[in-house]
Amino acid sequence: MKLRPLFFAAGMLAAAACVPSGDRAAGTAAGRMAPPPGMVSVREFGKDGRLMEATAMEKVVKTDAEWRKILTQEQYTVARGKGTEPAFCGVFYDHHQPGIYSCVCCGLPLFSADAKFDSGTGWPSFFQPVAEVNVITQPDNSHGMKRVEILCARCDAHLGHVFDDGPKPTGRRYCLNSVSLVFAPQAAVAVQPKAEKATFAAGCFWGVEETFRALPGVVSTTVGYTGGRAKSPTYKQVCANTTGHAEAIEIVFDPALVTYEKLLAVFWENHDPTTLNRQGPDVGSQYRSAIFFHSDAQKAAALAAIAALTKEKRFPKPIVTELVPVGEFWPAEEYHQKYFMKKGGGSCNVH
């Protein structure tokens, strides 16, 4: 039992300082909690550099404070606050290298250099995205104008606006802010590492998820149950300590941004791996410390970490963390997902 762009005609802003205009976060995004995440169908590039079929992914949702930690002030002002960089100031408006432009917030591929053209507006312009499902649009009636805003489908980052005055074959002009984008040369697209998974159990999964969710490089998190016998277990069944399952978290992460070794370090730092089948006041095998490895490399990294921690006597008692191959992971009920983000409050961590 838990105890606990603004886009103007070309030249209007050319003389302005290269500082994003009006941070609309003050009236919209700032201080506002993002809605609970859903699933979104998007397309990514495979290791061969080709666009893969659409797959369902969890939306990237972070609090305003978390975005501020990850992004620069300029990136935050535009991508999260719906501001606009002045014309002719962005690094990509006169950029012509072959490659892919991705979302600065979550890394989703958005536009290809093959679809880029010079619109004369001072902002990078494209006639189509790499995949229609990767961008979403919505009406924007701010500043006394009627426009169509473009957002990243995975994290709702503000990208710019789309207009019906572009070249063939689409007749559209996706007018973007450079600061909302990151660029990967064509040669690098084919070798982009695929997102990987990590699964840990460290007691109450509410606090464990809150700890990992805000870590840069973590794409998504899901709390659930694994390591036991019962199929499709419920929270009530797991709490009865009869299923063999542990409260766990499944993490999808980008190894180019955060290593598995870094995730392990966070794991050790945020719970007590020396108490058997309990964390603080939470007692039962469902609260055990466990690492469910997805590969031999993850197993080796975990064993090396345990050996190093033991040698340096990081903990006063022996580490009892279970190290086993990952089995089927059963997502917990929706009300458990992103619990502290939705409800507020602190953490279940006891170490």
DSSP class per residue in 184-200: EEHHHHTTPPPPEEEEE
Phi first, then psi: what are they for 100, rounded to 5°?
-125, 135
Model confidence pLDDT, tens digit, residues 137-151: 999 999 899 999 999
d(CA 76, CA 150): 16
The confidence score (pLDDT) of residue 79 equals: 96
Mark whether 348 is an active-site residue.
Answer: no
Mark whether 175 is an active-site residue.
Answer: yes
Decide: 284 and 296 in contact? Cβ < 8 Å: no
Task: pLDDT band for 9, please (50, 70, 90 cuts).
Answer: very low
Q: What is the overall mean pLDDT for the chain?
A: 85
Both tokens assigned to 267: 């794991």
Decide: 181 and 127 in contact? Cβ < 8 Å: no
Statement: residue 202 has pLDDT above 50: yes
Decide: 283 and 314 in contact? Cβ < 8 Å: no
Higher confidence at residue 254 or residue 296? 296
d(CA 227, CA 231): 11
Statement: residue 191 has pLDDT above 80: no
Statement: residue 2 has pLDDT above 60: no
What the chain holds in terms of domains, given with CATH numbers, is 24-189 (2.170.150.20), 196-343 (3.30.1060.10)
Marked catalytic residue, from 106, 152, 155, 204: 204
Residues 6+ apart with CB under 8 A from 128: 111, 115, 170, 172, 174
d(CA 192, CA 52): 13
Marked catalytic residue, from 103, 152, 175, 348: 175
Using the structure block, give the residue that is written with the tokens 């699964």: 199
Calculate the CA 37 to chain-centre distance.
Answer: 11
DSSP state letters, 227-295 = SSS-SS--HHHHHTT-S--EEEEEEEE-TTTS-HHHHHHHHHHTS-TTSTTEETTEESGGG-EEEEESS
Phi first, then psi: what are they for 291, rounded to 5°?
-120, 120
Model confidence pLDDT, tens digit, residues 302-348: 999 999 999 999 999 999 999 999 999 999 998 898 888 777 665 55
Statement: residue 281 has pLDDT above 60: yes
DSSP state of 277: T
How far CA 342 is from CA of 56, 61, 68, 288, 332, in Å, comes to 22, 11, 19, 25, 15
Half-sphere exposure of residue 287: CA atoms within 13 angstroms, side-chain side: 24
